[in-house]
Structure 1
Amino acid sequence: MNTAGKILTTLIAMLLFVTPLSAQTVKLANGEWAPYQSESLKENGFISQFVKEIFEGEGYQVEFVFLPWKRGFEDTKKGQLDGSFLWSKNSEREESFLYSDPVISLSSSIFQRVDKPISWQNLSDLSKYKIGGVVGYSYVTDDLEKQGVLKVQRIAKPDGNYKKLAAGRLDGVLEDTDVGYEAVNRLGLSGKIEPNKKPLSTREYYVIISKNSPRAQELVDAFNKGLAKALASGKLKQYREASNKGEYKKP
């Protein structure tokens, strides 16, 4: 065989090796939602790590594409990316996406001072407290706020609420529980501020796969298979506890 023939044979062999691998790559839109997913965190956050390891366990390679949430959603909807995460379920999204089984149940909480816990049974009981929130954020208390039953002191940036709470200028702060843990750890307020033991609300979140992906059902089936094994192993609980302790924060 001449030199040209050897080169051609080598190139064909390389293509045969690479093609199956590239066909098993899953492209997922990712976004900034610390502590679950973020380019600024180790492993891109504990949920990113969890999702990636599930797909890898089923024989796929994962490529994260970090985009603004709206663009990532639209690119995935068009089929330019295979899927995205984390998303809650609604009828409008179900028209364009297949949903995985639930990946994680997220709660919202009232963060309080450790030395001054809040006592409540019904949401209306919070009316006797000074409660902080963020402009533009939606909370389970929104209807009560609109009715004038509850007044939420809203500011532009969430970190300011925790500082006000630590200083005694607020009694509580409305926040997604894990997001609140991340802020408390980052601001050095661990041991001073904690979530109230009674959550405000809970909601399940999913990986969504575009119906325009030619492998949509295949990817959902593979992910669900791996998800069941990963949840049974306790891996998510382990990662979540590590995240709440600040272990995904980069030096």
Structure 2
Amino acid sequence: MSILKSPLRALLAALLAGAVLAGPAIAAESMTVRIASLEWPPYTGETLPDGGSAVARLRDAYAAVGVQLQVEYLPWSRAVMAARTDPAVIGYFPEYDAATVRKHWLLSEPVGNSELGFAEPYDRPIVWRGPDTLAPLHVGVVQDYVNTDALDARIASGDQPFERSVSDRINLLKLAHHRVDVAVVDRMVFAWLMANDPMLHPYLGELVINPHLLERKTLHVAFRPDSAGRRAGKLLAEGLRRLEAAAPASPRR
């Protein structure tokens, strides 16, 4: 965790002292933000260095404004439920930006990026040009994950054959055993799981990512839509702004 310079810390303390932070998820005395997350390597994971690459950036952003981050790692559906029902948890992370999410949550500024695609068998590649061309395929998705607006709309309307799994690992195992034709997965998550998960390692080389990506997405914290959630979001936005300002400038070409 980075340590702020004394004048900046003093100024920040003065500003925060006058702010009223509602709810137990952000206590003015300790300035701690607690969120729920999941095992989603390499982005998030309890045993990963710094809790995962996305959690590391989130932690750095909060540290830049003198706030401590606590992360509780849970199965995905439980992480979302914890943010909804546990007053000590202010939100969950990471989440994609989607209209269905914004109906119930306050989304933070982007913390990272994700490339969403289809995993497929190496010897049975698919050719698709848009959501409407996916109709003949049985698509594997993870329960409670946001995919793309178009694909989720097709699933909700019954126009897309699909099967839900409780995790990316199970989704990919179903693909390996021909239970689904393709599996929706983040490209980096796919690469990490295939290389590191003992249950999937036997299929390394047999499963690949289709070169036509579904969508490039941003990763956000989904905060509860209350005063504490809004405050936590503002602090995160300021922390991200300070990280960007402190980052070395890219060399000019």
User: TM tier, shorter chain?
Assistant: 0.5 to 0.7
* 1:75-132 C-alpha deviation (Å, 9 max, x unpaired): 4xx5x456653344614324xxxx5421123343210123442211022222344443
RMSD over aligned Cα atoms: 3.8
The residue number in structure 2 matching 1:123 is 131
Residues 1:153 and 1:226: Cα distance change in structure 2 (over 3 Å): same
The 2-side partners of 1:148 and 1:106 are apart by 27
Pairing 1:17-28 to 2, within 5 Å after superposition:
23=29, 25-28=31-34
Hey, which of these two has a bigger chunk of helix by percent?
A: 1
Residues 1:223 and 1:81: Cα distance change in structure 2 (over 3 Å): farther
The 2-side partners of 1:64 and 1:145 are apart by 32
Shift of 1:198: 1.9
> Which of 54, 74, 85 does residue 61 from structure 2 map onto?
54
SS of 1:205 mapped into structure 2: strand
Whether the 8 Å contact between 2:120 and 2:126 is mirrored in structure 1 is yes
Shift of 1:165: 3.2
The residue number in structure 1 matching 2:37 is 31
**Larger C-alpha radius of gyration, 1 or 2?**
1
Pairing 1:1-251 to 2, within 5 Å after superposition:
23=29, 25-35=31-41, 36-66=43-73, 68-69=78-79, 70-75=81-86, 80=88, 84-87=92-95, 88=97, 90-94=102-106, 99-134=107-142, 139-140=147-148, 141-145=151-155, 149-154=159-164, 158-166=168-176, 170-185=180-195, 186=197, 187-188=200-201, 189-207=203-221, 211-212=227-228, 216=232, 219-229=235-245
The residue number in structure 1 matching 2:7 is none
* 1:123-171 C-alpha deviation (Å, 9 max, x unpaired): 2222344443456666442443455543224556654443343355643
The 1-side partners of 2:143 and 2:89 are apart by 32
SS of 1:86 mapped into structure 2: strand
Whether the 8 Å contact between 1:103 and 1:227 is mirrored in structure 2 is no
Fraction of identical pairs, as percent? 21
Name whichever of 111-120 and 24-33 sits farther off: 24-33
SS of 1:30 mapped into structure 2: strand
Whether the 8 Å contact between 1:100 and 1:224 is mirrored in structure 2 is no
SS of 1:119 mapped into structure 2: coil
Aligned AA for 1:224?
L
The 2-side partners of 1:26 and 1:205 are apart by 21
- Calculate the TM-score normalised by the size of structure 1: 0.61
The 1-side partners of 2:156 and 2:83 are apart by 32
The 1-side partners of 2:236 and 2:211 are apart by 35
Q: Which runs of 5+ in 2 are unaligned?
A: 1-12, 14-27
Whether the 8 Å contact between 1:25 and 1:61 is mirrored in structure 2 is yes
The 2-side partners of 1:129 and 1:212 are apart by 43
The 2-side partners of 1:115 and 1:230 are apart by 47
SS of 1:48 mapped into structure 2: helix
* 1:10-55 C-alpha deviation (Å, 9 max, x unpaired): xxxxxxxxxx8x9564322132141232324332222111211233
Aligned AA for 2:240?
N
Aligned residues: 207
Q: Which runs of 5+ in 1 are unaligned?
A: 1-19, 235-251
